[in-house]
Amino acid sequence: MLPKGNKLRYIFVELAHHLPFSIFGVTMGLIFMGVLTFFAVLLGAEKMLPTASRELFHIFHPAHVLLSSVTTTAMFWKHEKRMFKALIVGFAGSVGICGLSDIIFPFFGGLLMGAPMQMHVCIIQEPGLVFPFAIIGVLAGFFVVTAIERSTEYSHSAHVFVSSAASLLYMLAFGLEGWTDMAGGVFLVTVIAVMIPCCLSDIAFPILCVHRNCDHD
């Protein structure tokens, strides 16, 4: 049983189980961006880095929405078998919260570091780039729990990696230059942009939406 009074405790238990996967995902995202920047410098193509980052962002952001919708839907479906409610929770928890992680947090983080950031919201400017991934992810979330043991942890790990890469790509694509010289600030922004929204999306949001008489142990 998962009574209403125990939801907060259960959320903290889930967060503790997901923490190693989250740390791994953020670290891999930073390494990925470091390798990308290294090759850009090595090839003398630093000026092309913002353009390349923008193109990659338009791959990683929809991929982030896909993985987020899988994990959010799976986490909710694991505790409550109401299909229509699971669809709403999976869609809102991925599209809305991914925008916070990939766009809003990096945008204001870049501004705080003194970069002339530009606002670019894919769900408004390019909805066709986001909605198909969200729909497929929500549908997949219904099956992944029974198909793969510990599915929410592994999908959360992949989710965090893609989210950290997307957050960094957004900063590089829309205003931040020379990010390696501000690695400390970029790290803090990335951790905040990834950990808070991703854990909110994957764990807290779906569990808080579960009814009080959940029959999952």
Share of the chain above pLDDT 70, in %: 74
Long-range CB contacts (< 8 A, 24+ apart) of 52-59? 53/169, 53/170, 53/172, 53/173, 54/169, 54/173, 54/174, 56/165, 56/169, 56/173, 57/102, 57/166, 57/169, 57/170, 57/173, 58/122, 58/126, 58/129
pLDDT mean across residues, the chain: 78
Which band of pLDDT confidence, cut at 50, 70 and 90, is reported for residue 180? confident
Tokens of 95: 């599209």
**Which one has a higher pLDDT value, 210 or 19?**
19
Which band of pLDDT confidence, cut at 50, 70 and 90, is reported for residue 47? confident
DSSP, collapsed to helix, strand or coil, labels residue 2 as strand
Share of the chain above pLDDT 90, in %: 18
Mean pLDDT, range 155-170, rounded to an integer: 79
| pLDDT number for residue 202 | 58
pTM: 0.79
Which band of pLDDT confidence, cut at 50, 70 and 90, is reported for residue 217? very low
> 1-28, pLDDT tens digit by residue?
444 456 667 666 666 665 676 677 677 7
Q: Say yes or no to pLDDT of 210 above 60.
A: no
